[in-house]
Structure 1
Amino acid sequence: MMPTTDLLDDLRPFSPGEIRTMLRPGAVVTDAAWPKTHVRKIHVIRIGGAGMSAVARLALEAGFDVTGSESQEGRFLPPLRDLGARITVGFDAANIEDGTDLVIVSTAVRADNPEVRRAHELDIPVIHRAAGLAGLLKNRALVAVAGTHGKTTTSAMATLALRAAGAEPAWAVGAAVAQLGANAGQGSGEFAVVEADESDGSFVAFAPSVLVLTNFEADHLDFHGTEENLRAVLSAFVARLAETNGTLVACADDPGSLAFARDARAAGHRVVLYGEHPEATWRIAADRSSAAGAHVDIDAPDGERLNLSLRVPGRHNVLNALGVLAALDILGISREGVLTGLAEFAGADRRFQVAGEVRGTAVIDDYAHHPREVAAALAAGRERAEEGKLVAVFQPHLFSRTKAFTREFAEALSSADETILLPIYPAREDFDPSIRSEDVATLIDGSRVLDAADLPDYLASHARDARVILMMGAGDIVDVSPRVLEALEASGA
């Protein structure tokens, strides 16, 4: 595994004021945008990830000839093969077939990848995933969803709401969504919805008609280096609204997004705010939510009172839905249709997803990997547990993130009745001996660190009385949940 610093080394030197973005040509990427020349055949390196498989699916549905490679088999590969993609497990220069016009990569692809080297030898353009998405979705009225948290859920909500209102949008989101049938699709209408990822600054590839900003906090500093750099690239993304005469729709209840909205308005951009904040024009008037779901009265800017109902729990999801309602209203989409679609939304994969239930104990998977996401997931878990016991199981994601937010993770996890941590999932980073899950655990009374192999039996013995076991993290913790359910079932209690 390449050290994290190699990625930053690939990006240097930056000119003063230049934003950090993986669209910038460097050791891997050679072109910042979709080529203007005719493209027929595309090769996708690391085609099996959620984001890269979305690019491949859109290309296949648009009629492109698609090849791809991945390090191992995965759940996104069979559907792509069914659509006609030729996929190889393992990376080899021979995977770049004759006639390939374009190679698309993710940030995880390094310069020493043999397929990257071969593409460079053949002068085949290499572009980043976001540039690929932008090219595949051009000529659509684009709704982009950005923010530190809530992007996948909000993007999926927007897609389903457009469908319910009679539109057939294209979409690309960061997880599988059962109600959509896939994590991406070309659709047939004039609209498109895309989850805009800030982690590598690549979202500046998009020029949206509407940009929804759910929130803003410091994250992904392993790439951006500083919060100021992250703020600069988000500002550059907001600036792209000028190209479409677009609108920024921002959550006024989040200090970070509110600050961006004020700056954007001062810079001359059209801005719409939502939430409970006094500056919001799409405002929550009354909240009658319960563990069974959300029921909220909304005041629209024109004075109409609307009723929003959701099947997914949590205040954060109320705000996500409100952002969708505001964004699609700008595009002239029927409010009634949008509300119908939002009411039908059952959640995205690993977004407070019930993996199973055994004798009154629900095992719930959630992708939360930032302190604020952990806090929101636990708040929803508390609603679900009601007066019962809530057990949090958390797998920290990235050594750098765990080090940056050690205390914040501990504070968020302390709201559970019992907390168990798994070892840090390194993802793209090398092992860092200076930070461990134990550093978080020592700040939480009664918490412990367990290996994933030991977790199922421990929970079967010590957490059988829990109403909710909440499994959180962006790593492979999702693979442990089925074993937890099996252990609970076998315990017979």
Structure 2
Amino acid sequence: MPEIKDSSTNLSNVAQAHEVPSYQAFYLIGIGGAGMSVLAQLLHDLGYHVSGSDQVQADTLGQLRAAGITVFVGHREEQVPANAIVVVTSAVHEDNPEAARAKTLGLEIWHRSQALDFCTRSHDLVAVAGAHGKTSTSSMIAHALLKIGADPSFAIGGVIAELGTGARLGSGSAFVIEADESDGSFLNYSPAVEVITNIEPDHLDHWGSAEAFEQAFVDFTGRLREGGALVLCADDAGVKRLAQRVPARRGVGGSRVISYGFGVPLAGDIVVQLSEPELGPGHGHCQVSVTDAGQQVFHGQLELRIGGQHMLLNAGGALGAAYALGVDLAQFVTALGTFSGASRRMQRVGERDGVRIYDDYGHHPTEIAATLQAARDLAGSGRLLVCFQPHLYSRTYHNVDAFARVFAAVDDLTVCSVYAAREAPIPGVNGNTITERLGQGTYVADMYAAGLHAFRSARPGDLLLFLGAGSITHVGHAIAAGHDFASVEQAAQAKVSQA
């Protein structure tokens, strides 16, 4: 087996966030990002002096300046205050001049998750975790709470389509976050509500083994606040194993276990039971009931404007969180029916020459299988074509057989090179690893050339899905926009000539 190393960098030098005096300054590296800009506003509202920098002139910088926050464009070491707590994301590395300056000065460096936990201790923090479905589930919760007037805050990894953002600072008590397990940062939160959608080993470049990955979720449940609620998907085998490992925590300090799903519920007093699913192209509905200690407290029909049974299941998790927060369930279910999806989750980006073009973030075989099922429904009588960009060499290596199985269901497959993200290459592993194992499909290393190949293979009435967690999304959007097609072709030709 090739050696797989975690090449990500965790710059945090504190075990956990702690109380800090009111005169403390905070400096945020990457302050213009959606999540970091909300964090900057939170720290500012708490009375701290906040400043920060971003590499580009993002729209959020003007908003932060208007609030009285000092922001810089570009990273320079002299911008870091000598008395600041420096906040970073996992994308900031040691060679960043501001991070290096903080280290030289001996300043405290907090990960974004530590700072966000610090800021949300007075909120009802809802943390959605799981190998798949985090963005959709957390987006559903935030969207529905907003629709019913609860005015939530949220910091989500994707963009809620209707709102055009994945982060917002509201006046309500609920704060919804997508809790990232990829680098272990979800263990920095202390949630009032934890939603665990599923547990399937992933990010083994960081965790090293499936056992360590599953143990991290056990540890995550230990972060639940006293009196909080643990919302668990009863349909997932990994979550079932988790439930068996944490029985002693049930009911401790008044905490509650809420299970949701289509199958037999987990042991627990509160159950969100889904049944009778009916799916169609771009929509789905099912019956849903909520029981507490054997007493039915809600029954109705859940209708979604997005397709796939996995989306109904995500909505069940959202409903479990809503019950834990004490909101009106009938209003919440109605609000879920207005949810139009999160960006890059089976998102229609356009049509060209009669070919419908969609974009999706799916990068793990399990979530890809669910996405392809929904895509097949949308394709109707047309063919389903996929242009896939693998994400991480380690994920490609560990899951090549599963990738081959799920992609056997598509009519035409094009795979480009691996999006490396934080990893160094693994010799002999790339996009062609998947097509060779599958025994069909086309490998085109450059993602632009791959996108053009997939598009030119399509016929009017077909559905072309651009799939992957990396930069492949730009190709689908550019091809869908007719005026951009020539530039995409030129970029492809240029990249091929450089190879």
TM normalised by structure 2 equals 0.87
SS of 1:383 mapped into structure 2? helix
Distance 1:290 1:178 in 2: 20
Deviations 1:377-417 (A, max 9, x none): 11110111122100011100111111111111121122111
Q: What SS does the aligned partner of 1:300 have?
A: strand
Are residues 1:276 and 2:262 paired?
A: yes
Please say if residues 310 and 343 of structure 1, whose CA atoms lie closer than 8 Å, have aligned partners that are also in contact.
Answer: yes
Partner residue, 2:162: 179
In 2, Cα distance between equivalents of 1:249 and 1:233: 17
Q: Work out which of the residue numbers 449, 457, 460 in structure 2 matches 1:454.
A: 449
Partner of 1:419: 413
Report the counterpart of residue 51 of structure 2 in structure 1: 67
Q: Is the 8 A contact 2:387 2:451 kept in 1?
A: no
Structure-to-structure mapping, 1:94-493, within 5 angstroms: 94-97=78-81, 101-241=84-224, 243-269=225-251, 270-279=256-265, 281-301=271-291, 302-303=295-296, 304-450=298-444, 451-486=446-481
Q: Measure how far apart 1:73 and its partner are.
A: 3.2
- Give the C-alpha shift of residue 157 in structure 1: 0.6
Partner amino acid, structure 2, of 1:234: F
Distance verdict in 2 for CA 1:107–1:461, change over 3 Å: closer
Question: Which one-letter code corresponds to 2:463 in the other structure?
Answer: V
Please tell me the root mean square deviation across aligned C-alpha atoms, in Å: 2.6
Confirm or deny: 8 A CA contact 2:64 2:70 kept in the other structure: no
Cα deviation, 1:24-48, whole Å, max 9, x if unaligned, reads xxx6434521542336542222345
Provide the residue aligned with 1:36 in structure 2.
Answer: 20
Report the Cα distance in structure 2 between the residues aligned to 1:62 and 1:235, rounded to whole angstroms: 32
For residue 233 of structure 1, report the CA deviation from its aligned partner: 1.9
Cα distance, 1:455 vs structure 2: 3.1
Q: Give deviations 1:257-315, integer Å, cap 9, x for gaps.
A: 12212333344343221112122521122112211411111122133421101111111
**Contact in 1 for aligned 2:389/2:419 (Cα 8 Å):** yes
1:232-257, CA deviations, whole angstroms, 9 ceiling, x for partnerless residues? 2211110122x322121111111111
Structure 1 unaligned runs (5+)? Answer: 11-21
The code of the aligned residue for 2:133 comes to G
Q: Which residue of 1 aligns with 2:30?
A: 46
**What percentage of aligned pairs have identical amino acids?**
35
Q: Secondary structure at the match of 1:442?
A: helix
- Letter of the 1:276 counterpart: F
Report the counterpart of residue 497 of structure 2 in structure 1: none
Structure 2 partner of 1:82: 63
Aligned to 1:14: none
Change (3 A) 1:4 1:278: closer
Q: Secondary structure at the match of 2:337?
A: helix
Q: Which residue identity does 1:225 align to in structure 2?
A: G
Shift of the 477–356 alpha-carbon distance from structure 1 to 2, 3 Å rule, reads same
Counterpart code for 1:468? L
**Matches of 2:216 and 2:476, distance apart in 1:** 37
SS of the aligned residue for 2:334 comes to helix
| Residues 466 and 472, structure 2, Cα contact 8 Å, conserved in 1 | yes
Structure 2 CA distance, aligned partners of 1:398 and 1:58? 33
Cα displacement (A) at 1:359: 4.7
Query: After alignment, is 261-270 or 149-158 more displaced?
Result: 261-270
Instruction: State the one-letter code of the partner of 1:37.
Output: P
3-state SS of 2:121 partner? coil
Deviation at 1:375, TM superposition (A): 1.0
How far is the alpha carbon of 1:165 from its aligned partner?
Answer: 2.5
> How many Å apart are 1:356 and its aligned residue?
0.8
Alpha-carbon separation, structure 2, partners of 1:247 and 1:56: 28
Counterpart-to-counterpart distance in 2, 1:88 and 1:5: 34
Unaligned runs of 5+ in 2: 487-499
Q: 1:442 to 1:50 in 2, by over 3 A?
A: farther
* Separation in 1, partners of 2:112, 2:28: 9
Deviates more, 1:482-491 or 1:131-140: 482-491
Cα offset for 1:445?
A: 4.1
Cα distance in 1, alignment partners of residues 4 and 49 from structure 2? 33
Aligned to 1:18: none
The residue number in structure 2 matching 1:16 is none
| Distance verdict in 2 for CA 1:446–1:487, change over 3 Å | farther
CA–CA distance in structure 2, aligned partners of residues 52 and 338 of structure 1: 28
Does the 8 Å contact 1:176/1:182 carry over to 2? yes
State the shift of 1:202 in Å: 1.4
Q: Equivalents in 2 of 1:126, 1:264: separation in Å?
A: 32
- Residue 280 of structure 2 aligns to a residue whose secondary structure is coil
Asked if the contact 1:56/1:80 (under 8 Å) is kept, the reply is: no
SS in 2 for 1:355: strand
Note closer, same or farther for the CA distance 1:87–1:375 as it changes in structure 2 (3 Å cut): farther
Residue pair 2:397, 2:429 contacting (<8 A) in 1 also: yes
Q: Report the more deviating stretch, 360-369 or 45-54.
A: 45-54
